[in-house]
Amino acid sequence: MDALQERFRQIATFIFDVDGVMTDGSVNALESGEQFRTFNIRDGYAIERAVNAGYRVAVLSAGSQVGVRKRLEFLKIKDIFMGGPTEQKIYAYLGYLNRDQINEAEVLYMGDDIPDFQVLSRPALLSTCPADAADEIKAVCDYISPVAGGRGAVRDVIEQVMKAQGKWLSWLTDVEPFKLHNER
């Protein structure tokens, strides 16, 4: 087993940025002033699988849109850190680890741009980014997803971890076969 696969096997906590990671980084501005984002449904499915499998899933974003928060809450993400200054993400990250006594060697963080640099540069965590991340971010990451932000990069890393730990499709063995409504 290679070193990256071994790192995937150690992960118990996923932490994601929003813009450029969970979304493609586009901001749609409405006449009302609302700025909405588009999320990838497959990323959402993978987050649901991870939460149901007992992983910690957290979001760390400088943005503070109500619609984004509602989407994250719908995905049952409990640890949502939004609205802080972009240059201070590192403090929110360290505060979360300290608050919940999280072992940094068991953390996978995915970011895509300069505000994530300080977190992604920490040697203990598994640093990851989407394929379309800033060059400076790619340079410090342990794993660069072949998928762009907002297009399945979140699912890619969750799937990599859960497959390495034998948990990705393990729930299928517990599911009864699907029957049509009119089958007897």
CB 62 within 8 A of CB 115: yes
* CB within 8 Å of 58: residues ≥ 6 apart: 13, 14, 15, 16, 77, 78, 79, 80, 81, 96
> How does DSSP classify residue 30?
P
Strand ranges (E), 49-123: 56-61, 79-82, 107-110
C-alpha triplet 84, 52, 183: angle, nearest 5°: 135
19 annotated as a binding-site residue: yes
Q: What amino acid occupies position 87?
A: E
Annotated binding site for Mg(2+): 17, 112
Q: Which residues are annotated as a binding site?
A: 17, 19, 112
Binding annotation for substrate: 19
